[in-house]
Structure 1
Amino acid sequence: MAEKIKINNNIFIYPMPVTLLGANVKGKANFMALGWVSRVNGNPPMLGVGVSKSHYTPEGIMENGSFSVNFPYSEMVEKTDYCGLVSGEKVDKSGLFEVFYGELETAPMIKECTLNLECKLAETLEFPTNYFFVGEIIAAYSEERYLTQGRPDIKKMEPLLLTMPDNSYWTLGDYAGEAWKTGKSLMAKKGTEEG
C-alpha cells in the first residue's frame, strides 16, 4: 500500500452538491451558487449553509429569517455558474429563473430546479470569513418526474457536483451499492452485530 503524504489542510469535501441559495434581499429574489451545504439534524429536518460574509445574500437571510436551497440539474450549469460570478448587489438575478414562493412567502425558489428546500432560519453562527446559517426545512418541493416511489431519485435529478480547489463541475457517476446493506456480508464473515 502506498505511503500517505501530508497535503494542504485547506481542503474541501469531495464532491460538494451544487445548489442555488435563494433569499429575498430588499424585496427582490436573489440567488447565489453554493456548494457548502449539509444536513445537520434529523428531526426536525435541518440543514446548514456556509456563506461568505462578502456576499450579498446573507443580508436577505437575516432580514427575512428564511432562505431556500435549490438543486439545479446538469443542463442548468451556465445559469448556475453565472449566479456565482455576479453579485445581486450589482445585477438583478430575479428574472433569470421562474420564481415561486411556498409557506414562508419570503424564501424564493426556482421552478426549473429538480428539488427545492424552503427553510426557516433557526440559528446563525459567525466565523472569521463566513456565516453558517442553520435552517429548518419547512417544506420540500419537486416534480413527479424526479421521484421514484415518492422520493427524490438522484439519477432522474441529474445533479451538479463541485470540486474545489480545481473549481470544476461534475455529474453523477455510477451506482456503487446500497447504504446500510452492502457491508452486511462482511458483518457475517466477522461475526459482528449491528450497532
Structure 2
Amino acid sequence: MNKELFKGSVFLNPVPAVVITSKNKEGKENAFTVAWTGTICTNPPMLSIAIRPERLSYEFIKETMEFTVNLPNSFQVRETDYCGVISGRDIDKIKKLNLTSKPGHHISAPYLAEFPVNIECKVKQIIPLGTHDLFLAEVMGSHIDKKLMDENGKIHFEWANLINYCHGEYFPMAKKPIGQFGFSVAKNPIIIEKFAHIKSYVEYSIPKKENNNSLTKKHKKKKITKNKKK
C-alpha cells in the first residue's frame, strides 16, 4: 500500500452530520449544523460538540448551557446543509425550513420534531482549543421515533437513514451491517454464520479516474483535420 504523507490535519472521516438547536434567555431559537461531535462517556452519558466562538449558537449555548442534538435522515440533507451555511443572525432557519420546534422535556432548548432522533444535553464544561471550543455535555434524555424500534424494543438506527459527513460531502448510512462488536472472535454459531461471508482485505479498490480532457488518437486526428478545413 503506497501512502502519501501529509502534515498535521484531522482526516477523521466519516463523522455524523447533526443539527444543534438552542435557545437564548430571551427565547430566540436557532439551529446550526455540526459534524464534529462524538460520544465521550457512558456513565454519566456524555457527548461533545466543537463550535467556533463566532457562531450565534455558541452565544446561545454558552448563555444557557443547554442544547439539543438532532439527527437528520437522508431526506433532510438539504435542511441539514442549509443550517450549516446560513447564519441565524440573518434569518430564522427553523421557520424558513418549515421545521417544527418542540419544547425540550428536560431542558429549555427545543428539538426538531421532524428529525428521527433528538438528544437533550446540559453543558458541564467548555474547553477552549483554538479555532473551536469543545463543549462537554451530559445527556439528560432523548426522543426516538417509535418507527425505529422493533417488537423487542431494540432501536434500529439503520432504519432512520441517518447521514454521514465525509470530507465535505454527505453520504447515507448503510442499512446492512458488515459485522458486529466481537464477531471476529465469536463462538456463537448464529453470529459466525451471519458474518461468515466477511473476509479481511489488506487492499481496497479505488475507482479509476476518467480523464475527460484526454482525446484518443482517433479523436485528435479528426480534430486536426477539421481545423485544417477551416
Q: TM-score, normalised by structure 2?
A: 0.74
> 2:66·2:107 contact (CA, 8 Å) conserved in 1?
no
Structure 2: stretches of 5+ with no match in the other structure: 188-230
Question: What is the CA–CA distance in structure 1 between the aligned matches of 2:61 and 2:71, rounded to whole Å?
Answer: 18
Question: What is the CA–CA distance in structure 2 between the aligned matches of 1:89 and 1:160, rounded to whole Å?
Answer: 26
> 2:33·2:80 contact (CA, 8 Å) conserved in 1?
yes
Matches within 5 A, 1:110-149: 110-148=112-150, 149=152
Q: CA deviation at 1:41?
A: 0.6
Q: 1:189 matched to which residue of 2?
A: none
Structure 1: stretches of 5+ with no match in the other structure: 186-195
Q: 1:109 matched to which residue of 2?
A: 111
Q: CA deviation at 1:117?
A: 0.2
Question: What is the CA–CA distance in structure 2 between the aligned matches of 1:169 and 1:65, rounded to whole Å?
Answer: 29
Question: What is the CA–CA distance in structure 1 between the aligned matches of 2:154 and 2:20, rounded to whole Å?
Answer: 22
Identical positions, percent = 25
Deviations 1:64-120 (CA, angstroms, capped at 9, x unpaired): 110010000000011111101101111112323101122334211101111100001
Partner SS state of residue 117, structure 1: strand
Counting matched residue pairs gives 182
Q: 1:160 matched to which residue of 2?
A: 163
Question: What is the CA–CA distance in structure 1 between the aligned matches of 2:10 and 2:94, rounded to whole Å?
Answer: 33
Which protein has greater RCO, CA pairs closer than 8 Å, 6+ apart? 1
Deviates more, 1:137-146 or 1:26-35: 26-35
Deviates more, 1:93-102 or 1:147-156: 147-156
> 2:22·2:109 contact (CA, 8 Å) conserved in 1?
yes
Name segments (4+ residues, structure 1) moved above 3 Å: none
Deviates more, 1:148-157 or 1:67-76: 148-157
Deviations 1:13-53 (CA, angstroms, capped at 9, x unpaired): 21110100111134222110111111111111000001112
